[in-house]
Amino acid sequence: MQVQRNPPPIKELVKSLTRIVSSGLPVGPAFDDDNLLGLRGVVARSIDPSDRLSRVKALEDLLRRFVSTYPDDVLCDAASELFGIALGSRGASLTLRRERAARTAGFSTDHFRKNIEPKIVLEVAWLLHRDSQNYVPRERATPPPLEISGDTPVVAFGDVSDKDRNEHEEALSRLWAHVYALRAEILKVERLKQWPHDVTELSTSQEVLLKAIATRDREVKVVKILIERYIGRYGESIEHGDGEFNARALLRLAGWAE
């Protein structure tokens, strides 16, 4: 199966998504659309990228995530109804899902079908397009033999027997460590915004939040520095387990948007 070097045009992704909206989630096992199954973000999340059904599962998981966290508070619930992941809409016909989505968003069914539904599908297409820009396609059909597989942080013999490889693995590990640290700080800030009380802190809720924001912002600066340092020496492709990513996209992968 193909792996796209660049995501298809947005309008092509919209066409492919329209097929999914027609039947609703879950994506059926017969689904076979290169525009969606060839997306780098889908391939990167597949347990076995050579298996179409593995890509179908990865696509469905990605769609559920994007729809359930749709970036519009007014249309978020309507998007869940439209795609069939909201309670009561699962397995329902497109007509019923449209009616429920329109009612949820406060529109007539006709207005929703003509004006709001295309907007929702376009936004999900853009989320898929943007997500796939985070990943770097492999130049080889299969990766070279590895001493370990997956994301397990084991120090292999080759990592310490060659100075250049050792330095590369160290830079790689430090960068990913700070990417995960940044993600943790982003999650903490968002948690404190919604649930201000933190039993581990003695300060006021506002002081705790401001402290968390400052820590998060410092981590952003550190990650930016490490990314530029890594790219300057090793280029923009960065590995993690069996996947390859665009180093400049690591801030977005951590959940940070400028």
Q: How far is CA 164 from CA 150, 157, 233, in A?
A: 22, 13, 11
Tell me the average pLDDT across 209-231. 93
More confident residue, 81 or 150: 81
Tell me the average pLDDT across 102-120. 97
pLDDT over 70 at 242, yes or no: no
**Percent above pLDDT 90 for the chain:** 53
pLDDT score recorded for residue 155:
43
| Burial environment of residue 78 by CB neighbours within 10 A (0 to 12, 13 to 18, 19 or more) | buried
pTM (predicted TM-score): 0.60
More confident residue, 77 or 170: 77
Location of structure tokens 């992968």: 253
pLDDT score recorded for residue 59:
96
pLDDT tens-digit map of 133-179: 877 665 444 433 333 334 444 444 444 567 888 888 888 889 999 99
Query: Average pLDDT over the chain, rounded to whole?
Result: 85
Confidence label for 233 from pLDDT (cuts 50, 70 and 90): confident
| Burial environment of residue 114 by CB neighbours within 10 A (0 to 12, 13 to 18, 19 or more) | exposed
**Percent above pLDDT 70 for the chain:** 85
pLDDT tens-digit map of 24-58: 999 999 999 999 999 988 988 888 888 999 999 99
Tell me the average pLDDT across 64-77. 92
pLDDT score recorded for residue 256:
87
Is the CB of residue 183 less than 8 Å from the CB of residue 189? no
pLDDT score recorded for residue 253:
82
pLDDT score recorded for residue 165:
80
Residues, the chain, total? Answer: 258
pLDDT score recorded for residue 246:
82
Give the orientation angle of helix 117-132 with respect to helix 76-83, to 10 degrees: 90
